[in-house]
Structure 1
Amino acid sequence: MIETTAQLPRRADSVPDPTEQPWQTEASTPWTAVVRRIRSLGADTAYVLVTLPWSLVAFVVVFTGLAVAVPLMVFWVGLPIAAGVLVVARWFASVERSRTVRRAVLAGDLPLAEPRRAAAPGRGVPVGADRPSLPRRVLASLRDPQGWRETVHALTSWILSIVTFTVTVTWWVGAVAGTTVYAWVRFLPENTGNDDLSGAARDALEVLNSTGFKLAAGIVFLLTLLPMTRAMARLQAGFARTLLDEPRTVAR
């Protein structure tokens, strides 16, 4: 019997299912499911690991710009500098959206939507026509709420990324080190410092240091690696969605 991955035929009068995924095929082999899970695990891991250094760069650049702009606002010089900081924060947000979209495509989640922005004064004005003055354009940029949301994301994303990065690395190290314990445990020095402990504490420490316990812990880490990594990636992407996604208006 030859398995096929062609999509099921659709009736002419049927209504398309919005929840149907491109990989929902007529016959999906176990191998294709494994490939999807590995691809999703790689996308989530790469997204979380890259977010920490990238968010630190965004924080340093945006915070430095604001630290220069705020004291100079008393001389009105800080206003154009602050507007430039918002432009830089918009660029960082654009890169974060593209990273989140790429991760969502591989992991099967919803990507971020590019927010609609009000047209800046002077944009689209024909050549030779009167353009708004520079102060007006600067003030219009500073009144953009989405620009400040992107600035807040650049200033705070690193805090959450420390947690997601640490948990993801811990699970990967625990899974790899635990499941390969028999390959490296022989090279560890013998623990001879348990003689000073009481009987119960010494027995508990021997259990924790045993090869069987390390292997069992590694299996637990391995079995929970995919859902834990997915949870960390969704937590990081959810934070970005809160500040960088198109704001939703609630109908009354």
Structure 2
Amino acid sequence: MPSVKSMSTTYTSVGAEQPERIGLVRQLGVDTGYVLLGFPLAVLSFSVLVAGFSAGLGALVVVLGVPILAGTLIVARFFADIERLRIPAVLRRPLIRPTYRAPEPGAGFWKKIVTPLAQSQFWLDLTYGIVHFPIAVVTFSIVVSWWATAIGGTLSIAWDWSIPRSPDNTSLAQLIGLGDSAFARIGFQTATGLVCLVSLPFVVRGCALLSAGFSRLLLTGVAEMRQTITVLT
């Protein structure tokens, strides 16, 4: 497990230029792409890291678990680095990356193996790769649903006629007391779509900020704090 020393001495930051502010529509595209791509990345990282961490813990009794855990932490760093490259465009902040301590020159095999295990940022990367999964699922579901409602609802006049109707069907317009006429049905669907369309940039922005903010907390938070302390001293 990481020591107090490793937590206080192994972090530096790598700065980049401040991302430029962009328009509302372009930011919507950036935020949408961030959330949509984040879902498959979260699924992949969660699957790989949970499997590796579980296998490593299970094999600790025969020592084989140590290199498995070390390898899992290195894979976690890979996924963490991908996310660090993605969040500046969402948070509009410069890229910050902690420096991972490399094994000492001439270090033996086991020393190289256990080096990641003694660094807290590796464990934070692993925690991110596992815990971020439910956040990615929720934000992905909201963004996809909002986009679908905004587009489908607004354009309902173009496709409503193609939906087969039967006496047993009950539309949402009918459920809220607007009747089951085509005018009421299309009007309600269009109004719902327009509400989602107007609120789309803000809902997607909120989802992107939630996901990226969590990523920043675990992946760059310590490096940012160390950078601030260095500047102040």
Same topology, TM > 0.5: yes
TM-score, length basis structure 2: 0.79
User: Which whole-Å CA distance do the structure 2 matches of 1:157 and 1:82 have between them?
Assistant: 19
Q: Report the Cα distance in structure 2 between the residues aligned to 1:77 and 1:44, rounded to whole angstroms.
A: 42
Query: How far apart in 1 are the matches of 2:219 and 2:197?
Result: 33
Deviations 1:109-136 (A, max 9, x none): 224410133x3232xx3xxxxx122222
**Aligned residue identity for 2:177:** D
* Helix, strand or coil at the partner of 1:203: coil
Q: 2:77 aligns with which of 90, 115, 140?
A: 90
- Show the counterpart of 1:141: 116
For the pair 1:175 / 2:168, whether they are aligned, the reply is: no
Asked which structure has the greater CA Rg, the reply is 1
Structure 1 outlier segments of 4+, above 6 Å: none
Q: Match of 2:59, SS?
A: helix
1:63 is displaced (CA, Å) by 1.4
CA distance in structure 2 between the aligned counterparts of 1:136 and 1:181, rounded to whole angstroms = 64
Greater share of helix: 2
**TM-score, normalising length: structure 1:** 0.73
- Structure 2 segments unaligned to the other structure (5+ residues): 1-17
Q: Is the contact between residue 153 and residue 194 of structure 2 (CA under 8 Å) also seen in structure 1?
A: yes
The structure-2 alpha-carbon separation of the partners of 1:133 and 1:75, relative to structure 1 and needing over 3 Å to count, comes to same
CA distance in 1, matches of 2:221, 2:165: 58
Give the aligned CA root-mean-square deviation in angstroms. Answer: 2.8
Query: Does 53-62 or 200-209 show the bigger shift?
Result: 200-209
Correspondence for 2:54: 67
How has the CA–CA distance of structure 1 residues 150 and 212 changed in structure 2, closer, same or farther, with 3 Å as cutoff?
A: same
In 1: Cα distance, 2:25 partner to 2:83 partner = 23
Asked if the contact 1:121/1:140 (under 8 Å) is kept, the reply is yes
2:190 is aligned with 1:203: no
Aligned equivalent of 2:86: 99
Distance in 1 separating the partners of 2:177 and 2:151: 26
Q: Distance in 1 between matches of 2:162 and 2:181?
A: 19
Which runs of structure 2 are paired with 1:96-175 in the superposition (5 Å)?
96-101=83-88, 103-104=89-90, 109-117=92-100, 119-122=101-104, 125=105, 131-175=106-150
| Equivalent residues in 2 for 1:193-232, closer than 5 Å | 193=168, 203=177, 206=180, 210-232=185-207
| Counterpart amino acid of residue 43 in structure 1 | V
> Which residue of 1 is the match for residue 37 of structure 2?
50
For 1:41, which of 11, 28, 46 is the aligned residue? 28
Change (3 A) 1:194 1:76: closer
TM-superposed CA distance for 1:72, in Å, is 1.2
Q: 1:202 to 1:148 in 2, by over 3 A?
A: closer
Confirm or deny: 8 A CA contact 1:68 1:78 kept in the other structure: yes
| Cα deviations by residue, 1:171-191 (Å, 9 ceiling, x for unpaired) | 101110111111011112234
